[in-house]
Structure 1
């Protein structure tokens, strides 16, 4: 299959690999990305053994942590596949978006559970003011959005803001995948292209979700400090930003023919490839940070966070049995 020089059409694997057969930098980059992706899987497997060792069977927190830690190898593998099979980029983006959306939901549920439930969270934060003028949406509205006391209604509102991305992004990216199969989804910044509108809706949904997530995290940061919530939040939030922001940046650069084309691969094709290759490296770094967040020793005791969770569950079980005896 022959392709025009500097084409915006994503090449099939036979064209792609015939072009890079003598491109040493590209081959080295693919090798590094492959090693990092495989390493992220190895780290995840080791984390699974650790969770199995330190959690009781049936512990709800165990599977939540398993899902959250799985985000990093999933993105690494999806991004690597998108680099090695260029025509699969839309499908890989859809899978990545769905998993990220689910992780946002799990993270919020886990944060609320650390308080002991919504009622306990509201009770704990009863004397605190929750800041609303936070990035990425409302940091410039500090004169209008004054801090408020958290109520069940406002908590539900922030939950909805954070979780709507679970529905919106997968739906719009599914539409993108359908258009792509029909040859009507082109990564071009033009008012005539569906890509622009899909990107706008997806970006707005992500920003609103980040806003809800940041508000809940900001209110919980000090109260849940012993759970190392900051490390967990940063490792999740940075990945969301990297996935969304970098794709938009590379799309804008492609409009200015950056990076320059090589062979049949135009700026858009090469930009998508560089975006996914960078994502592998960045997500691997966040994988290490997340591992530290879920396994760092507490500053208040010598127990690991996971053991604190287990101890809490054991205490609750013991109290319940004691109440039954009484």
Structure 2
């Protein structure tokens, strides 16, 4: 095939992603080493996670066990799904959707984790009764400094939970819908036409993601001082890093592939090559994050000290000054 500039396009550049056996048969020495090392990293990540689950089951109070296991599992689950997508390129859409659904639940679980670290809903409301929430924070309203502070009540706490919980539910619903449409031939990530299902579903899911991240950011800004001794800041940083790498980085690479910036590399088309690069990077990144997360969550889970009237620097919440 000729593209008009005397350059012949390899047939595989216009084809679907190769099957697993085609990849295995065409691996050279470098490819064998690369695939082996990345598979080993994904396996180690999952083994570290399983070992951490055993530790959490034995050492952590019952009200925090499942929450911490969910949050700890973000990086190893995404790394394992990326490994499957690396070996079976035609399953990449499904492995990515599985990772995204898992992380949607983690967004909600991280919010609940911060509440449980201060003793649960009742303890949070008791400790935070004389404080207010600053809602002018990212990712929705970081530039809206004129927004009023919100009193901490059961209703406002319920709305914060609902804001994150809706993403955990609706992301799964839209994933199932996408798979159903894919089997019908009407959902294609590469189809950016106005009649394509992906151009409507993906932006809407993106809006839901931003709405879900906002309550988590609000709660973190309020509790970061009270939970500083529990390393909540690096934990939040790891949570944000998983989000950026699994969502933003993957989206950027896929856009570059669709625009032709990433060249075709037989047996991979340009888009398949972009997905492959994304999976390989995620395996390495999630392996590192898994090891760091293990260090952050392996600690003694003692009750948080009671906040006193003097706002001790180790127990106070982020107090908002109230103007006269």
Verify same fold: TM over 0.5: yes
How far, CA to CA, are the matches of 1:185 and 1:292 in structure 2?
41
How far, CA to CA, are the matches of 1:9 and 1:185 in structure 2?
15
**Residue 156 of structure 2 aligns with which residue?**
154
How far, CA to CA, are the matches of 2:76 and 2:246 in structure 1?
14
Give the superposition deviation at 1:16. 3.2
In the alignment, which of 3, 20, 36 is matched to residue 13 of structure 1? 20
1:68-147 alignment to 2 at 5 Å?
68-143=71-146, 145-147=147-149
**Residue 216 of structure 1 aligns with which residue?**
219
Give the superposition deviation at 1:166. 0.8
**5+ residue gaps in structure 1?**
296-303, 313-326
**Residue 322 of structure 1 aligns with which residue?**
none
Q: Does 1:289 align with 2:296?
A: no
Evaluate the alpha carbon distance shift between residue 156 and residue 55 of structure 1 in structure 2; reply closer, same or farther with a 3 A threshold: closer
1:176-325 alignment to 2 at 5 Å?
176-188=178-190, 189-295=192-298, 304-306=299-301, 308=302
How far, CA to CA, are the matches of 1:265 and 1:283 in structure 2?
24
Q: Which has the higher helix share?
A: 1
How far, CA to CA, are the matches of 2:157 and 2:72 in structure 1?
25
How far, CA to CA, are the matches of 1:291 and 1:270 in structure 2?
32
How far, CA to CA, are the matches of 2:15 and 2:139 in structure 1?
32
How far, CA to CA, are the matches of 1:113 and 1:21 in structure 2?
49
Question: What is the number of residues matched between the two proteins?
Answer: 296
Give the stretch that moved more between structures: 85-94 or 181-190: 181-190
Give the superposition deviation at 1:137. 1.6
In the alignment, which of 172, 180, 200 is matched to residue 174 of structure 2? 172
**5+ residue gaps in structure 2?**
1-9, 307-324
Normalised TM-score (structure 2): 0.83
Q: Does 1:45 align with 2:50?
A: yes
Give the superposition deviation at 1:204. 1.1
In the alignment, which of 28, 33, 48 is matched to residue 28 of structure 1? 33
**Residue 315 of structure 1 aligns with which residue?**
none
Give the superposition deviation at 1:85. 0.3
How far, CA to CA, are the matches of 2:185 and 2:33 in structure 1?
32
Evaluate the alpha carbon distance shift between residue 30 and residue 65 of structure 1 in structure 2; reply closer, same or farther with a 3 A threshold: same
Report the 3-state secondary structure (helix = DSSP H, G, I; strand = E; otherwise coil) of the residue aligned with 2:149. coil
* Per-residue deviation, residues 174-197 of structure 1 (Å, max 9, x unmatched): 122222223333222333322222
Aligned 8 A contact 2:119 2:303 in 1: no
* Per-residue deviation, residues 276-299 of structure 1 (Å, max 9, x unmatched): 11111111222122112212xxxx
Aligned 8 A contact 2:136 2:142 in 1: yes
Aligned 8 A contact 1:54 1:310 in 2: no
